[in-house]
Each structure stands twice: as structure tokens, then as C-alpha cells.
Amino acid sequence: MRNINRLPGRLAHTTAVALTFVMTILLTLTALTWQMNNILTNRALHGRIATDSAITTMQMETIEKRVKELAEAYSFQPETAMQFITAESLEAYNREAVEWWTGLMQADPVTTPPEWDVSGIEQAVREDELFKANTAANMRRSTARDLIAYEIGQEINRTVLPVRADILAIVMPKVLQMVNVPAYMGYLALAPKLCAGASLALALLILLVMHRRASKAGLYIGAGLAAAGVCVVGVCAALGLLGVGGMIAEISTLLAAQVRLLAVKLMLNMGLFAALALAVGMALIGLHQADMRRLRSARGAQA
């Protein structure tokens, strides 16, 4: 009992500082690996982004622009093709594409990317009165199939999958042959839980090192939480200064728009984590300060 009640010594404080430092690192890694999991494995998150109304509107405008260019080049009414491309069907195709590319990192991936069915567009264009009036009968089928429907399908594929699907389909199987990606994905899924569990264990160790004095332990645990919150904010700020969105916009405006939406959602998650860590950390530090003030007041009264 005497060992429990005695005040922590210099060694105990030094040990607590070291444990607090490690806990700060682990808490920061908890937040980062949590978001890495969201980026690589959260199909629901990517599905919501891909079917966001702003993204769908941009995609529809891009596709419609290409359809009008083809309509002008090959003489058919744009509405003939656009009737097969609705916001609802485009959202469904986006969800299918998300299922496909996220599945590339799993065991036994389906390497063939989804394709938009253009058979209806081809048939409708062949029956379009303006098209028939300006295209020779023996050229209508090949023109509608190869120069119009195929091109529209390719534009839809490029719009929904800004990173070329054929490149992903070729590269990912080769990567899977060289690296056990599914196993690493499993490790990554465990990482936030392991880091959080280790942080909790360190907090308990700090409590033991401080001889179960909750106030003293709370000071170090609170400092670790607050420091982790500051670190997470710093990481978010650093990522924001990198200007990744601008670099991606040079490759694809649509991809950049999706990345911006993803970044906003991830930053909100990180911000919530940082705010919670800071709030709890500062509360624990405040409790220690209040306890110290009460102790000083009691000593002053005794004197």
C-alpha cells in the first residue's frame, strides 16, 4: 500500500513522458490508417462520391458535349442517343465501376472492366431520320456501330473511369502476382484497431507508473491526446498545401472533382478525430490543474 500512495519519482515521470510520446505517435497512426482504410477499401464511401449529384451533372454535361460533336459530324439528332443516357443509369454504372476497381485489390479480382451497353444507341441512330437522310444505306450500320455508338461508349467509360480501365486491368493482376495485396489489405484493416488498442494499453501503463494517481496520469494522457490532435491537424494542413487537387485536375477535371469530394469527407473525419482528442486531452489537463489548485489551497490553509 505504501508504494501505491507514495508520490511518483523522477524516473516515473521520465517513463510517463516516454510512454506519452509513443502514445501520441500511435494515436496519430490510428487516425491515418483509419483514413487509409477508407480510401482503399470503403466501397460505400466511394459509391456515395461517384453518385454525388454534382459529379453526375458534370458527367452528363461531358457526355452530352461529345454526343453533340458526333451528331454534328455524322448527322443525327443528339436526343436519339441521349435518351439512353440518364442520370439514374449513369449512377448505376458508377456504382458498378466502383465495385470493379475496388475489387481489383482483393483476391481473384475480375480484371475485365464494366462496359456501357451501346446496342440500344446503335439501333436508335440507325433509325434516326436525319441519319438515314444523310448516310448511305450500305454505310449506316458500320457508321452507327463503329463511329457513333462505340465512341459514345468510350466517352462514357472515360467519364466514369478517368484513370484508364484497361491500364488498371493490366497492371493490377501483375501487381497481385508480385505482391500479396489482399494480405496487406487485411493488415491495413487491422492497423487502426491495433494502434488504438496499444494506445489504451499505454494509457493504463501511465496510470500504473504514476502509482494509480489519476490526476497525475490524466496530465500525461491528456497531453498525449492533445498532441495527437495537433499532429492530425498538422498532417491535414500539410496535405492541403501539397496541391494534389491541382495536379490531378491537369489529368482529369472529373477525377479532380471526385478527389476533392473524397478529401472533404476524409478531412471531416480527421477533423472530428482531432477535435475529440483535443477536447478530451484538454479536459484531462484541466482536471489535473484544478486538482493542483485544490492541493495548494489545502496546503495554504494548513500553513
Question: How does pLDDT run across 143-189, given as a tens digit for each residue?
Answer: 999 999 999 999 999 899 876 566 666 676 677 777 777 788 888 88
pLDDT at 112: 80
Q: Work out the average pLDDT over 78-98.
A: 94
Contact 43, 94 (CB under 8 A): no
Identify the band that residue 5 occupies on the pLDDT scale cut at 50, 70 and 90: very low
Contact 163, 113 (CB under 8 A): no
CB atoms within 10 A of CB 260: 16
pLDDT at 113: 83
Q: Work out the average pLDDT over 115-119.
A: 92
For residue 111, how far is the Cα from the chain centroid?
A: 22
65 vs 41: CA distance, rounded Å: 33
pLDDT at 2: 42
pLDDT at 210: 85
Lowest-confidence range among 18-22, 270-274, 298-302?
Answer: 298-302
- List, for residues 148-158, the tens digit of each pLDDT value: 999 999 999 98
Q: Please report, rounded to a whole number, the percentage of residues in the chain having pLDDT higher than 90.
A: 57
Q: What average pLDDT is seen over the chain?
A: 87
Contact 46, 253 (CB under 8 A): no
Burial 138-151 (b: 16+ CB within 10 A, else e): eebeebbbeebbeb
Lowest-confidence range among 40-44, 211-215, 224-228, 231-235?
Answer: 211-215
pLDDT at 114: 87
User: If DSSP states are collapsed to H, E and C, what string results for the chain?
Assistant: CHHHHCCCCHHHHHHHHHHHHHHHHHHHHHHHHHHHHHHHHCHHHHHHHHCCHHHHHHHHHHHHHHHHHHHHHHCCCHHHHHCCCCHHHHHHHHHHHHHHHHHCCCCCCCCCCCCCCCHHHHHHHHCCHHHHHHCCHHHHHHHHHHHHHHHHHHHHHHHHCCCCHHHHHHHHHHHHHHCCHHHHHHHHHHHHHHHHHHHHHHHHHHHHHCCCCHHHHHHHHHHHHHHHHHHHHHHHHHHHHCCHHHHHHHHCHHHHHHHHHHHHHHHHHHHHHHHHHHHHHHHHHHHHHHHHHHHHHHHHHHC
pLDDT at 170: 67
228 vs 282: CA distance, rounded Å: 12
Q: Provide the angle, in degrees to the nearest 10, between the axes of the packed helices 53-74 and 87-103.
A: 110
C-alpha atoms less than 13 angstroms from C-alpha of 140 in its C-beta half-sphere: 17
137 vs 139: CA distance, rounded Å: 5
Residue 236 pLDDT > 50: yes
- List, for residues 24-56, the tens digit of each pLDDT value: 999 999 999 999 998 888 889 999 999 999 999
Structural domain boundaries of the chain?
A: 2-41+181-291, 44-178
Residue 7 pLDDT > 60: no
Q: Work out the average pLDDT over 81-95.
A: 95
pLDDT at 1: 38
C-alpha atoms less than 13 angstroms from C-alpha of 17 in its C-beta half-sphere: 7
